[in-house]
Structure 1
């Protein structure tokens, strides 16, 4: 694996920390800014909405810029808005910084997925995707619990300062390790690449990715109040349980990288079925801290194994969109990131309690399984079909 891929993963680590760290900061932000917990949870949805809009849009805007320059512009913008977020006392301003940070993050990840894919052999997109998403899972292991701990000791703003600080070495690393290269627009156009969205296999994969990741984001966003209010776990233990989630997600994304290139159907259908059942089991046993300690890493592993596999398959399913493929995959991932917390917040706001996001997660994954079966996702593809070996769908 080229060294530059790992440097891209370092930047993804900083961005993943920002995207997920609110799971441990929601109660503190709500109290400090005098908003409700569902409103504070909407900061995650706002970030995800920015990712959805920004992924294809920023990828298009970067077509005529060398990839290294585009990556640096996105990352520096991301760094600066976190400084603004760390000093603001306004919920509206914080919400705006989350959207801008998401646009920068989306552009970075879309270009990074395409750049990394171009640095490896054509049949290794699953592995390179797992390395990049490994930056997100390391964020869950170290960055998110670290942010929660900083929030407990020095307040939630310290976590925003930490993300800005971690982004600085990532800027230097990308400047030194990623090849400058020419703009990726030669021989392609945004209009031609957007035509890839006519492919029903790509659309199906994006839909499945959105639903599965919706379940992940729904449960994860409200994990802290679930553990403390329902499970009776002390706040001091929340960072440790978030770290368990991160360890599970790292194991899952690693497994996804191994199977995404060879056995995607088995991973999606088998893993998805286990995931839906697991979210339901968690909802039933959430009042007992022992099952929670076991289920948090297991469900994280299943979520990221299935989710990363679907992202990799989206890259395979868009061979005619070499620049926007990363944007499509990033957008799908974050459609779930917006849908999940929004649906979970609605359930909590309706008075259904902090268990309700887990039931929402189970329902979203179940919908993904139904869609996969109806669309024939699990059926073998005839070898005579164009690029069937590449898609594996």
Structure 2
């Protein structure tokens, strides 16, 4: 509701300049066409920061789509009003309203599949740049600013928003809050890897499409080098199908190809439909870019167990002396076989289950920080025994159910 109010208010504010904007168009054009054009453009420009900030994308065909839809709506709304007044006699016009409604849905369907411009998070610099540009545009429409000054302002503000990303590209691990589930983004220049995509057990809520993809767009992620499905659990990989359908993905990494698992089966089917190569990774597989190295620690050379958790893909992340490990849902006995070495950050396996994050791996890795991806649950995660073990090694605990998404910079 709040978003609706924001969009409505900004659209009306933009439309208040329709008269001045229409006067800038050639007078030989019909007045109604000039008004339709400027109304569409001004409404889109006025709502631009809210649209980009909330949806992470900008339709490239908004102008023609809205113009065509506007013509249809100009006839459909009055006809719908008349149909309401006619009551039982509305059958006389319902055929036409149905035709127009179908045409409107057709326009939405056709233009809804058109390319879009993805966008990252709209930060303070972006808001300031937009406000300055909007003010310059309003002054130009009122004849108080030259076109050259408007163009210069636009270019300067565009540079202001681009410079931070150009001067200091993101190097970080992002532990996305997906509730009771897992999703981690590892990125550096030339590398962007998503490990798991959350999921909703016993629900049709699309965590991937409604949480993970918007988060990636807000972070400015336009493609992924690889997507890692650690193991065939709904709360880890169900959301990855939406990710594969939405973003270009270089490879899909899996540890165990289970032919009889419906969730993994759907993901593999999506990968095949989207043309994403599937790679079964094993211990020692590695990828490096911009000083960041991802090394597969598990599975080993063969399938270890029939249990999904025991075959989780485990990864070590290294960057200029910093070391972290992501262990999926591995139980403590398997954790002890990994040889993770000394760590700065350990992502607790299995959301803090008492069967994972054992004393052996904590003594071996001596992490300064432990990250637990967890939400409201009936499993007792994170278990008090785990929290006690972590406390005994002097590590700080970060829980996504308490602090939300955690962005961890990489050196």
Larger Rg: 2
Task: Indicate the structure with greater helix content.
Answer: 1
Query: So what's the TM-score if we normalise by structure 2?
Result: 0.25
Relative to the length of structure 1, the TM-score reads: 0.25
